[in-house]
Amino acid sequence: MLAPLDRFIGHIKVQKRYSDRTAMLYRSAVCDFYCYMQGLSTHNELLALDDFPEKEQLSLLTTTHIRSFIAESLKEGLSARSVNLKISALSSYCDYLVKNRLLAENPVNLVHRPKVKKMLPLFYEEDAIRRYLLAPLPDNYDDLRDRTIVTALYCTGMRRAEISALKIENYDSARSLFRVVGKGDKEREIPVVPFLSELLAVYLAKREDFLAEHEKSNESAFFLTNKCNPIYLNFVNNVVKREFSGRCDFGGKNTPHILRHSFATHLLNEGADLNSIKEVMGHTSLAATQVYTHNSFEQLKKVYLTAHPRAKKGG
C-alpha cells in the first residue's frame, strides 16, 4: 500500500490536475518538514521517509512542530514567499489527511504566515522592446529561433513552460492563434498579431531547412535546440539572457517572466480591459491580473499632465 504522501501526490496530480513541477515542490516541502523533525539535511526524501512508520509520520504533524519548522526556515534565510509555499504544501497535505480520516484536524490552520513584501512587477519600456523587435533578422537558425522565442513571449504573454512545450500543431496559421495548455491543464487560445505572424512564417521556413540538414522530419516541437531536440525551461531563460545581454536598455535582471509582465503592462497602458488580459494570460482569477494595474512612470506622468487642472497650459 502506498504511503500517505505518495497517495497525496497522486491525488493532486490526478484529481486536482496540478503540474508535475507543483507536485514536486509540494513533495519536497513535506519531505523537508520530516527531515527537519529527524535532524536530517533537507531535500533528502529517502532518509526522510524510508523506514519511517506511518503513525509516527502523522504524529509529527502538530501546530507546534510546524511552527518550529517555519521559524527554522526563516532563520536559515529562506524568503517569506518560499516559506509560504512550504506552509501551503503542508496545509494541502494535512487537508488531504483530514478528509481521509488520518488526522483529526489541520494543524496548519493555526500557523501564522510570514508577510510577503509586495513588489510591483518588473517590466521593459515599450521603446526598448520596439528597438529590439525592429532590428534586422539574423540569417542562421539558432539566432532566428532565439529572436522568435523572445518575440513570441512578448507578443503572446506565454509562460516559460508554455512556450517550451509548444508543438507545431499548437499554431493555427489560418486563424492566427496559438492553442496552449497552461496551469491546471487549462487550454486557451492566444491571438497572434500580424508582426509575430510574419516572423513565425520566416522562422518555420528556416526550421524546415534546419531539420532537412539534420535529416529529421518528424520532430513536432515548435522550437528546437541546435541538436534538434525540444527546448526546455532553462533553455528559454538562457535565450532571454543572451538576447538582452550587453544592451543598455535591458539592464539588470532579464527573464521570460519580465516579458510576460511587459506584455500585460503595455496592453493595460494602451487601454485593454482586465478581463481580456486575464483570459489571454490564462489566469484563473481577476485578482492575479490586477497586479498589473500599476502604470509605468511615463504613463502616469502623461495622464497627470493631461488631466490635472494645474498642469494644463495656463492653469
Give φ, ψ of 133 to 5 degrees: -70, -30
Give φ, ψ of 90 to 5 degrees: -65, -40
Residue with cell 531563460: 237
H helices present in 76-193, as ranges: 80-99, 126-133, 141-156, 160-164
Give φ, ψ of 101 to 5 degrees: 60, 35
Among all residues, which ones are annotated catalytic? 159, 183, 257, 260, 283, 292
CB distance 214 to 228 below 8 Å = yes
Q: How many CA atoms lie within 13 A of 102 on its CB side?
A: 19
- Alpha-carbon span 199 to 120, nearest angstrom: 31
Give φ, ψ of 182 to 5 degrees: -100, -155
CB distance 226 to 123 below 8 Å = no
